[in-house]
Chains A and B, each alone.
Chain A
C-alpha cells in the first residue's frame, strides 16, 4: 500500500487542496460491500487513473461522487471543502462533470438541445440555445471538440457523441471531469483524439479522473493511478513510477501473464475452407465482400478489425443463423463437406451436429438466457443430447450434474448451478458459455470477443482454455477487437475492413502499426492493400 500523501508535490503545490479527496468512503448494496473504506487524493490539474477489474467498485465510487448513491460512511472534500453530494445537481454545482460509459444523450435531440438540457437559462429555450451556440464555438476552438451544434445526436458517430458528453460537462463549467471507460466504444484513432482533448483540458487546469481497465491507456495518459480490488483501494502510485505488470498484479492480487504461454502450432489439414463468401443484407448494403480463408486443425486464426466491419455477419453465417433477408453467395466447406448457407439445413443446431462450437459475441443476448439458472444455460444447444434425456422427458438431474462438473472445471464462481445467469459477474457468465462450448470438443470453435467486459483473472483462464483446445488439434476462429488479444493468441492474423479481408500476417512478424493501417483500410492507389493477402506457413512446427 502506497500512502496517498505520496502524490503531493510534483506539479501541484503541496499546500494546495486536492481537487477531490475521499476519506473512508464505504457503500454496501445489501450483503455486497461495493466500496470499503476508500481513500483517494486527486491533485488539481492532474489526470488520475482508476483501474480495477470488473466489479472492483470503480463505477460505484464514481456514482457516489456524482450524487447517484449516498455513501454509508465517509467524507468527500472538493477543493478542500467537505460537501454532501445528495444528487447530481449538487455534483454539477460543485464543478464535477461525468461522462458515462453509456452516454446519457437524447438521441433525437440536436447537440445544442442536449447540451442545455437541465441548465436552461430561463423558461424559454431561444436565449439558452443562442448562448450555448456561442459557448460551443469557443470550446470547440479551445479543445478540438468540433461537433455540428444543429446535428441530431443519432446521426453522430460514437466518438462525436462522446464529445457532446464532454461538452455537456464543460458547458456546466465542470472543473473535475470523470470519464467512465471512455475508450470502450472508440476506434483507435478516436481514442487518440480523445487523449489529445484530455491533455488540452489538463493544460487548462482541469482535473480529470479516468476509469478504465486498459493498462495501456493508464500508462499513456495518466499522472497518477489508483488501483481498486474487491471494493478496496489497494494502491495509489505515480504512473511514472510503476509498470503495467505491477498494476496488473495489484488489480488481481497475484502475478498474471499478460502474454499467453503457448507452444508453436502444429497445423494439420484444413477444417474450414471459406471461398468467395459475400453477403448483401436486407437493406441492400454489402456486408461481406469475397471473403476467402482456411483454418487448419490445430491453429488459431485471429480476425482483427474495428467492430462493425463484417465480423458479426461472418460469425452469424458460419454459426448457422444468417441475418434475415440477407443474400449470401460463395462456398463454405467443413471437413470437405459443403455447409448450407441458407434455407433448410442452415441452422445453428445442425452446425453444432457438424462439429462447430460457437461462443457468440454478445453473451447476454446470444450466449445465455439471463433469467435462467446456470445449469439450464450449460445445456442450451445440447438439450437434445442423449445423455440429457430419458425417453421423451429431459433428465434434469443429469443436466444438473453435468453443469456442476463443468462449473467446477472452469472455476465458475459462485459455484451455484441454481443461480440465474444474470447474477454472475461478466467473467463468470463468459466462463459458463466457454465451458458449454469447449467441453463439447468441437472440431471448429467460433469465438466472438471472448473477453469483452471480462476481468483479467478470467481472461487469462479463458485464453488458456482456447490454447488447450488448439493443442488438442482443433481449429479456432477468434474474432476480437482487442489487438493485444489477437496478437497474443493467434497463430495467423487476418484483418477485416469494410467486409473484406485486407490481408493475413504472422503475429510475430507484424507490428500493431501495420495492423492498424490494415484495420483502417489503407490501400495503394489501385485499391490493393499492402503486403501479403495470404500466409499459410507458420514460422515453426509446421506440419
Chain B
C-alpha cells in the first residue's frame, strides 16, 4: 500500500538520480528548470484539489490561469510592481471562480459546461481587452525589473556550494528561485495539514463525498463549497501570475497552453492527494524540461524528433485521463449540485 501510494514519487526521483549520474551539470540545469515549469502546474493542481475535494469539478482551471496571467501582467506593467500584479492575478481568477460557483452551486448548473464556458470566456476576453489596451495583438508589453518576480538567493547558498551532493542541490536547485516557487511548494504540506488535520478540512472532504451528511450535521453546504471554490480561485490566480510575471516577462495569447488541463490530469494521477500531486506535477515539469533541453534526443539507434519530445506531457495527460493509472476514484459527490431530498 505504501509502495503503491509512493509510486509516482519513486519514479520521479529515480529519473532525477539517473539523470544526475549520467550528466550532473545538465541534470542540475534540467531539474532546476523542471521546478520552475512545474510551479504553475502544482498551484493549479492544488487549486483543483480544493475545489474537487469539495465536490465542485473544475475544468475551468485553464481559463482562470489565463485570466490571472493577463490581469497580473497588465497590472504589473502599469504599476511596475510584481506584487500588485499578483494581487490583480488573484482578483482576475477569483472573479471567474465566483462565476463558476454561482453557476454550479447557487444555480445548480452543470459544472462541466460552466467550466468550458469559463475557458472560452478567458481565452476571448484576454485577447480582446489586451488588444484594446496595448495594441500588441493580444500581448502585453514586456515586463522588466520590479515588474517581474526575481530569483531569491537563500542564505549560505554560496558557502555551501562546495559540499558534495547537498551543495549543488541546495545552492543550484533550492536557492535562486522566485518567491512564488517557494509558495507553491509550501502549499503542499499546508494543504495536507488543512485537509487532514483541521475541522475545515474534515468538512471540506465530507461535502465532496456526501453533502447530505454535512447538511444534516447543521453545516452549510453552500458556504463550504463557495469557500473551496474561492481557495481554488486564489491558487490558480497565483499560478497565472507566476506564469506571466515569474516564468515569462509578460502575457502572450493562450500562454497557459493547456497547463490547466495538465494540472487536472496530474490531480487524477495523484488521486486528489496533495503529496502525490507534488510528484505528479514534478513528473510533468521534468518531461517539459527534458523536451526543452534535448530537442532531438539521441538514443544511439534512433533520434527522437523534437515534436515528439514536446508532445510528451500531453501524451502523458491523455494516457492518464484514459485511465491507465489504475482506478482513480473521484470524490463521490463530485460534479453533482446538492439538492435537498424530500
**Residues A70-114 near B (CB distance < 8 A):** 87-92, 98, 100, 104-109, 113-114
Q: What is the CA–CA distance of A120 and B199 in the complex, to the nearest angstrom? A: 7
Contact assessment for B202 and A105 in the assembled complex, using a CB-CB cutoff below 8 Å: no
Q: Interface 1/0s, chain B 107-142, versus A by CB < 8 A?
A: 000000000000000000000000000000000000
Give which listed residue, B202, B216, B340, contacts A113 with CB less than 8 A: B202
Q: Interface 1/0s, chain A 133-145, versus B by CB < 8 A?
A: 0000000000000
List of A residues within 8 angstroms of B196 by Cβ: 125
Contact assessment for B213 and A105 in the assembled complex, using a CB-CB cutoff below 8 Å: yes
The winner among B203, B209, B218 for most chain A CB atoms within 10 A is B218
Contact assessment for A118 and B342 in the assembled complex, using a CB-CB cutoff below 8 Å: no
Q: Nearest Cβ in chain A — how far from B329, in angstroms?
A: 9
List of A residues within 8 angstroms of B214 by Cβ: 117-118
Q: Nearest Cβ in chain B — how far from A113, in angstroms?
A: 6
List of A residues within 8 angstroms of B198 by Cβ: 123-125
List of B residues within 8 angstroms of A118 by Cβ: 203, 214, 217-219
User: Taking the complex as formed, is B212 at the interface, i.e. its CB lies under 8 A from any CB of chain A?
Assistant: yes
Name which residue of chain B comes closest to A113, CB basis.
Answer: B202
Q: Nearest Cβ in chain B — how far from A402, in angstroms?
A: 33
User: Taking the complex as formed, is B332 at the interface, i.e. its CB lies under 8 A from any CB of chain A?
Assistant: yes
Give which listed residue, B200, B203, B342, contacts A29 with CB less than 8 A: B342
Name which residue of chain A comes closest to B215, CB basis.
Answer: A88
List of A residues within 8 angstroms of B202 by Cβ: 109, 113, 116-117, 120, 125
The winner among A63, A88, A104, A128 for most chain B CB atoms within 10 A is A104
Contact assessment for A106 and B210 in the assembled complex, using a CB-CB cutoff below 8 Å: yes
List of B residues within 8 angstroms of A109 by Cβ: 202, 205-206, 209
User: Taking the complex as formed, is B197 at the interface, i.e. its CB lies under 8 A from any CB of chain A?
Assistant: yes
Tally inter-chain residue pairs, CB-CB below 8 A.
Answer: 74
Give which listed residue, A59, A87, A89, A124, contacts B197 with CB less than 8 A: A124
Q: Nearest Cβ in chain B — how far from A540, in angstroms?
A: 48
Contact status of A106 and B205, CB under 8 A, knowing A124-B197, A125-B197, A125-B199: yes
Name which residue of chain A comes closest to B203, CB basis.
Answer: A117
Contact assessment for A104 and B209 in the assembled complex, using a CB-CB cutoff below 8 Å: no
List of A residues within 8 angstroms of B219 by Cβ: 89, 117-118
Contact assessment for B218 and A92 in the assembled complex, using a CB-CB cutoff below 8 Å: yes
Contact status of A123 and B205, CB under 8 A, knowing A60-B342, A89-B218: no
Q: How many residues of A contact B (CB 8 A)?
A: 33
Contact status of A117 and B200, CB under 8 A, knowing A106-B210, A107-B332: no
Contact assessment for B210 and A105 in the assembled complex, using a CB-CB cutoff below 8 Å: yes
Q: What is the CA–CA distance of A225 and B199 in the complex, to the nearest angstrom? A: 41
Contact assessment for A108 and B217 in the assembled complex, using a CB-CB cutoff below 8 Å: no
Contact assessment for B332 and A68 in the assembled complex, using a CB-CB cutoff below 8 Å: no
Q: Nearest Cβ in chain A — how far from B195, in angstroms?
A: 11
Q: What is the CA–CA distance of A29 and B340 in the complex, to the nearest angstrom? A: 14
User: Taking the complex as formed, is A119 at the interface, i.e. its CB lies under 8 A from any CB of chain B?
Assistant: yes
List of B residues within 8 angstroms of A106 by Cβ: 205-206, 209-210, 213
User: Taking the complex as formed, is A343 at the interface, i.e. its CB lies under 8 A from any CB of chain B?
Assistant: no
Name which residue of chain A comes closest to B217, CB basis.
Answer: A118
Q: Nearest Cβ in chain A — how far from B152, in angstroms?
A: 31
Give the dominant DSSP class at B's interface.
helix
List of B residues within 8 angstroms of A104 by Cβ: 210, 212-213, 215-217
**Residues A337-356 near B (CB distance < 8 A):** none
List of A residues within 8 angstroms of B201 by Cβ: 125
Q: What is the CA–CA distance of A117 and B210 in the complex, to the nearest angstrom? A: 12
Q: What is the CA–CA distance of A59 and B203 in the complex, to the nearest angstrom? A: 26
User: Taking the complex as formed, is A532 at the interface, i.e. its CB lies under 8 A from any CB of chain B?
Assistant: no
Name which residue of chain B comes closest to A93, CB basis.
Answer: B218
User: Taking the complex as formed, is A284 at the interface, i.e. its CB lies under 8 A from any CB of chain B?
Assistant: no
Give which listed residue, B205, B217, B340, contacts A68 with CB less than 8 A: B340
Q: What is the CA–CA distance of A118 and B205 in the complex, to the nearest angstrom? A: 12
Contact assessment for B197 and A107 in the assembled complex, using a CB-CB cutoff below 8 Å: no
List of A residues within 8 angstroms of B210 by Cβ: 104-107
Name which residue of chain A comes closest to B207, CB basis.
Answer: A106
Q: Nearest Cβ in chain B — how far from A427, in angstroms?
A: 17
User: Taking the complex as formed, is A126 at the interface, i.e. its CB lies under 8 A from any CB of chain B?
Assistant: yes
Q: Nearest Cβ in chain A — how far from B339, in angstroms?
A: 12
Contact assessment for B197 and A126 in the assembled complex, using a CB-CB cutoff below 8 Å: yes
Q: Nearest Cβ in chain A — how far from B103, in angstroms?
A: 24
Q: Nearest Cβ in chain A — how far from B179, in angstroms?
A: 27
User: Taking the complex as formed, is A122 at the interface, i.e. its CB lies under 8 A from any CB of chain B?
Assistant: yes
Q: What is the CA–CA distance of A124 and B196 in the complex, to the nearest angstrom? A: 9
Q: Nearest Cβ in chain A — how far from B215, in angstroms?
A: 7
List of B residues within 8 angstroms of A108 by Cβ: 209, 332
Q: Nearest Cβ in chain B — how far from A131, in angstroms?
A: 13
Name which residue of chain A comes closest to B216, CB basis.
Answer: A104
Q: What is the CA–CA distance of A124 and B213 in the complex, to the nearest angstrom? A: 20
Q: What is the CA–CA distance of A106 and B203 in the complex, to the nearest angstrom? A: 10
Give which listed residue, A88, A100, A105, A124, contacts B218 with CB less than 8 A: A88
Name which residue of chain B comes closest to A29, CB basis.
Answer: B342
Q: Interface 1/0s, chain B 271-311, versus A by CB < 8 A?
A: 00000000000000000000000000000000000000000
List of A residues within 8 angstroms of B215 by Cβ: 88, 104
Q: What is the CA–CA distance of A107 and B208 in the complex, to the nearest angstrom? A: 11
Q: Nearest Cβ in chain B — how far from A170, in angstroms?
A: 14
Q: Nearest Cβ in chain A — how far from B54, in angstroms?
A: 13
Contact assessment for A119 and B217 in the assembled complex, using a CB-CB cutoff below 8 Å: yes
Q: What is the CA–CA distance of A68 and B218 in the complex, to the nearest angstrom? A: 10
List of A residues within 8 angstroms of B205 by Cβ: 106, 109
Contact assessment for A88 and B206 in the assembled complex, using a CB-CB cutoff below 8 Å: no
List of A residues within 8 angstroms of B340 by Cβ: 68
**Residues A284-313 near B (CB distance < 8 A):** none
A residues contacting B by CB (< 8 A) are: 29, 59-60, 63, 66, 68, 87-92, 98, 100, 104-109, 113-114, 116-120, 122-126, 128
10 of the cross-chain contacts (CB-CB < 8 Å) are A29-B342, A60-B342, A89-B218, A98-B216, A104-B212, A104-B217, A109-B205, A117-B219, A118-B203, A128-B199
B residues contacting A by CB (< 8 A) are: 196-203, 205-206, 209-210, 212-219, 332, 340, 342
List 4 additional A-B contacts (Cβ < 8 Å) besides A63-B342, A104-B213, A108-B332: A88-B218, A89-B218, A104-B217, A119-B217
**Cβ-closest 9 pairs across A and B:** A118-B217, A89-B218, A120-B199, A88-B218, A104-B213, A104-B216, A106-B209, A106-B206, A104-B212
